[in-house]
Amino acid sequence: MSTDRPGHSSIQNASRFLGRGQPGKTGGTSWPAPQARRPLGVAHRGASKEAPENTLAAFRLALRLGAEAVECDARRTRDGQVVVIHDGEVDRTTDGRGPVESHTLSEIRGLDAGRWFGAEFAGERIPLLTEVLEAARGKALVKLEIKNDPVPYEGIERQIVDIVRGLGMEDEVFVMSFDHECVRAVRALAPRLATGILYAGRLVDAPHAAQAAGADALCVHRGYVSPRDVDRAHAAGLAFFVWTVDDEDTLRRCAAWGVDGVTSNDTRLMLRVLGKARSGT
């Protein structure tokens, strides 16, 4: 099994993809030469261009298309269950209304999360985090964003760690958040879990921010990426992921700059472009 191809070759150990292990000259971890790195294609909320985001239909389609990783968002219901939905309110992606945290799991499960996207998806439900992880287990890396807003969910870090451990997926899940305190808490609870900090802006010292959170990676909005940023991250022993890229030119540019992964809503385009980048065509 090749070690230079992320995704299927590394889902048995997400930390291996992130470069943990060999101490680097900077005190972090060593990285392969730029030509040996391969960008990981991450299906954003599943194959969300072709199926309703963050539903099992979207994740299963992404896996069928060959995605090496899928990204999902975790929030908590009023009765303390972890479900997969991006927005703080259910209005945009279901036939319901109001904050996720104001609904019980039973109420959440009664909402239609597919009809808004297309009649063929009517009846799709907001899935439990456990269901998404089980769908991807042994098939793809799961990039899991903890949506700890607008008010932090007390104890959600331990809850998610327990779910991941309960499924035996510590080596197949990557946890990230805009709440860097949350990332630090996950790292303290589960040092084996790969983690990253999300941000959208020009940080004065992004590698330091990641290190302060005990993170393995930077997860950066596409508008704030440069070759220098990628090089600085790698020099510090950090992986560098970019979100969310849906055009061919930017996908190619990211691959050329040596980023370690790119998240996209357009799974087919992403796999085609990054596949060519791997083969050098």
Active site residues: 44, 86
Closest CA to 10 of 130, 143, 129: 143
Structure tokens at 107: 């109420």
Q: 231 CB contacts (<8 Å, ≥6 apart)?
A: 258
Q: Where are the strands (E) in the chain, listed by range?
A: 40-44, 69-76, 82-84, 141-146, 173-177, 194-199, 217-221, 239-243, 261-264
Q: 156 CB contacts (<8 Å, ≥6 apart)?
A: 74, 76, 82, 146, 148, 182
Instruction: Count the helix, strand and coil residues of the chain and give each as a percent rounded to the nearest 5.
Output: 35, 20, 45
| One-letter amino acid of 254 | C
Structure tokens at 41: 């294609």
